[in-house]
Amino acid sequence: MPTRLHTIWRAAALATALPIALTAQSARELPLKYAGPPTSAAITAGDLMTRLYIFADDSMMGRQVGTIYNNKGTDYIAAEVKKLGLKPGGENGGYFQTLPYALRALDTTSTLTVNGVTLRAGVDFVAQSSGHPTQLTDMPTVFGGTILDTTNLPANDQVTGKLVIMRPGAQLSFAMFQSEGFKRYQAAYAGSFVVSVAGDQFPANALNAVLHPTNPVFIRDNTNPAALTITTRAAETIFGAPLSGLAKGAAGKPVSSKVKFNDETSMVVGRNVVAILEGTDAKLKGQFVAIGAHNDHIGFRAGRAVDHDSVKAFMQIVRPQGADNKPTAATPDQVAQVRMLTDSLHKLHGGARLDSIYNGADDDGSGSVSVLEMAEAFARGKIKPRRSIVFVWHAGEEAGMLGSGLFTDHPLPSVPRDSIVAQLNMDMVGRGRATDATGEAKDGSLLHGGPGYLQLVGSRRLSTELGDLVEKVNKDDKFGFNFDYNLDANGHPQNIYCRSDHWSYAKWGIPVVFMTTGGHADYHQLTDEPQYIDYDHMAQIDKFVFALAVKVANLDHRIVVDKPKPDPKGACQQ
């Protein structure tokens, strides 16, 4: 996002031809590459710019968890906090908490047995390698119809404790995930073991990935069973009839299993970074204010690179919320606008430039370097809080909040879970200008940023006191933020409260505040790059979160939790 001094478009080239949302706001754009001066103890826009151009550089290849490029990003963060002299809070006296990734192959001697008939691994079925191979003994089976069919759902007691065989259906979209129908669907099949039917045979590439994996998988807790996928022939063996003629609820033959995986080859391809600033109060330093962001993004585009400027133009005009927009086609008028803007950007840049890397500058490079900048301000500055501060850069948020889940579900000895008094989460804090579509109100109307724009989510969901304190710091310290609570509404279809790392803390009853400048057209696009960030605005947010952390850390009591705590094993509900 542009700072006050820079922009991605020149006014003279575009103001007369394009909508006001696309016109320039200032004189020139930020560079594609930039090597800044050393950082200082103060929180500054220049420091954030220096850091983000390193952390979201093409050389990081999108920092995707499960790849060595996530290690490259976390190496940078760990080196910086070590240089600052912060106390390691990770495993074995270091700064890292390693996510359990491994190469894990399905053993081809694994079997399913149906009424004396043996079904073979890799031929008749496959098992998901990230789950625990729960063994079945004569488990009753029932036909469940089509996957994700939310109509005519069974009573839960009709399927509980049974293997439910389902034929392929619709893909799970974000809209469906948020629907009441899907929630009823989940509840109906809770306690059952759902098995999907793949077709007559498994595609060669999919089968090879299971039997001879080259990509590591996140090994989940033993409470997550290894999901099974079977062929049509295997399903017909279970039911003794073609699936096409079966009615939903039809009973099949009992199934037993002997599923195992070959020895796991552990791989370090995803890490939390944990660093601690010890508090100054002997009685309170055993309590922590957690400040976090996620260090991963979504990697790089496989196959052919694409023209960066044409993507930029298309998303800005046709899908202003980026990946949060439905994939709608452009109208003829929009096609003309996209072409005009693309041509202008090509002239500005001396031609097209190909791009294939999802740099994740805002998501969540902005949060990661903001937390790092605060860590430096605490370590090298004069303000030393009474409680300790734990800085956590979580891995795998994009893959389902893996790192934050690991940190709170399996706490490190350095930071017991019940010692965390609050968590301040920063995810996408680098944009929020008036031309950014930052999300939707609950009624579906489009929201936009502007001066002092900052979204708050979850600040009063567990603690009224924490929510009030956020407002008080903004007012008393004259930060001048205009807080947008639209996306914190109960039942909001975008479900932001459940989509970032703060939920991993909130589910355990830890009060949280999620701070973000919201979405924009570059969300989860190749165009989320450091040149489009508003560093002045980001620095102001950083200073605000720093002040809030100090206020929470210096309270003479723990933040009061006065709202019902969720079930940590249950599904998130906004």
For residue 298, what are its two tokens?
């979504």
What pLDDT, on a 0 to 100 scale, did the predictor assign at position 284? 98
d(CA 224, CA 222): 5
> Binning pLDDT at 50, 70 and 90, where does residue 28 land?
low
Peptide bond preceding 476 in cis form (omega within 30 of 0): no
Per-residue pLDDT for 294 more than 50?
A: yes
d(CA 42, CA 58): 27
> Binning pLDDT at 50, 70 and 90, where does residue 419 land?
very high
Read off the DSSP letter of residue 81.
Answer: H
The four Cα atoms 10, 15, 16, 21 give a dihedral, to 10 degrees, of 140
Rounded average pLDDT over 237-262: 94
> Binning pLDDT at 50, 70 and 90, where does residue 178 land?
low
What pLDDT, on a 0 to 100 scale, did the predictor assign at position 12? 24
Type of residue at 484 = D
Question: What radius of gyration, in Å, describes the C-alpha atoms of the chain?
Answer: 25
User: What distance separates the 2 farthest-apart alpha carbons in the chain?
Assistant: 78
Least confident of 279-288, 325-334, 408-417, 558-567: 325-334
Per-residue pLDDT for 21 more than 60?
A: no
> Binning pLDDT at 50, 70 and 90, where does residue 263 land?
confident
Per-residue pLDDT for 23 more than 70?
A: no
d(CA 521, CA 518): 11
pLDDT in tens, 107-144: 999 999 999 999 999 999 999 998 888 899 999 999 99
Provide the mean pLDDT of the chain.
92
d(CA 408, CA 293): 14
Count other Cβ atoms within 10 Å, centred on residue 479: 16
Per-residue pLDDT for 22 more than 80?
A: no
Count other Cβ atoms within 10 Å, centred on residue 118: 11
What pLDDT, on a 0 to 100 scale, did the predictor assign at position 190? 87
Q: Does residue 560 contact residue 467 with C-beta atoms inside 8 Å?
A: no
What pLDDT, on a 0 to 100 scale, did the predictor assign at position 481? 98
Name which residue leads in pLDDT, 29 or 511: 511
Name which residue leads in pLDDT, 107 or 172: 107
In 147-267, the DSSP E strands lie at: 163-167, 193-197, 217-218, 228-230, 251-258, 265-267
What pLDDT, on a 0 to 100 scale, did the predictor assign at position 74? 98
- With a CB cutoff of 8 Å and minimum separation 6, the contacts of 544 are 454, 473, 474, 477, 479, 481
What pLDDT, on a 0 to 100 scale, did the predictor assign at position 174? 60
Q: Are strands 193-197 and 217-218 parallel, antiparallel or unpaired?
A: unpaired
Dihedral-angle region of residue 66 (phi above 0 means left; psi in -120 to 50 means alpha; beta otherwise): left
CATH level 3 topology of 103-265: Glucose Oxidase; domain 1 (3.50.30)
Q: Does residue 534 contact residue 450 with C-beta atoms inside 8 Å?
A: no
Question: Which residues on adjacent β-strands are paired with residue 285?
Answer: none
d(CA 396, CA 399): 5
What pLDDT, on a 0 to 100 scale, did the predictor assign at position 151? 86
Element (H, E) at 74: helix 68-84
Helix 68-84 vs helix 367-380: crossing angle, to nearest 10: 20
Per-residue pLDDT for 19 more than 60?
A: no
Type of residue at 152 = N
What pLDDT, on a 0 to 100 scale, did the predictor assign at position 127? 94
Per-residue pLDDT for 458 more than 50?
A: yes
Q: Does residue 142 contact residue 239 with C-beta atoms inside 8 Å?
A: no
**CA distance to 64, 234, 249, 304, 322, per residue, from 301 (Å):** 11, 36, 43, 8, 16
Name which residue leads in pLDDT, 506 or 25: 506
Structural domain spans, the chain: 30-99+269-302+358-553, 103-265
pLDDT in tens, 185-203: 888 898 899 999 998 999 9
Q: Which CATH number fits domain 30-99+269-302+358-553: 3.40.50.970, 3.20.20.370, 3.30.450.70, 3.40.630.10?
A: 3.40.630.10
SS3 (DSSP) at 122: coil
For residue 17, what are its two tokens?
């031809």
Between vectors from CA 466 to CA 460 and to CA 470, what angle results, nearest 5°?
100
Element (H, E) at 465: helix 464-476
**CA distance to 10, 19, 78, 162, per residue, from 431 (Å):** 19, 20, 26, 49
**The two domains 30-99+269-302+358-553 and 103-265 share their CATH topology (first three levels equal):** no
Q: Does residue 110 contact residue 308 with C-beta atoms inside 8 Å?
A: no
Sign, CA dihedral 176-177-179-183, equals positive
What pLDDT, on a 0 to 100 scale, did the predictor assign at position 287? 98
Q: Does residue 337 contact residue 99 with C-beta atoms inside 8 Å?
A: no
Name which residue leads in pLDDT, 532 or 22: 532
d(CA 191, CA 158): 10
What pLDDT, on a 0 to 100 scale, did the predictor assign at position 170? 74
What pLDDT, on a 0 to 100 scale, did the predictor assign at position 133? 86
Q: End-to-end CA distance of the chain: give it in Å, rounded.
A: 29
In 395-431, the DSSP E strands lie at: 420-426
SS3 (DSSP) at 245: helix
pTM for the predicted model, two decimal places: 0.89
Per-residue pLDDT for 165 more than 50?
A: yes
Rounded average pLDDT over 92-110: 96
Rounded average pLDDT over 511-531: 97
d(CA 481, CA 545): 12
pLDDT in tens, 343-401: 999 999 999 999 999 999 999 999 999 999 999 999 999 999 999 999 999 999 999 99
Per-residue pLDDT for 473 more than 60?
A: yes
- With a CB cutoff of 8 Å and minimum separation 6, the contacts of 124 are 112, 230, 231, 233, 234, 237
- With a CB cutoff of 8 Å and minimum separation 6, the contacts of 254 are 114, 115, 138, 139, 140, 141
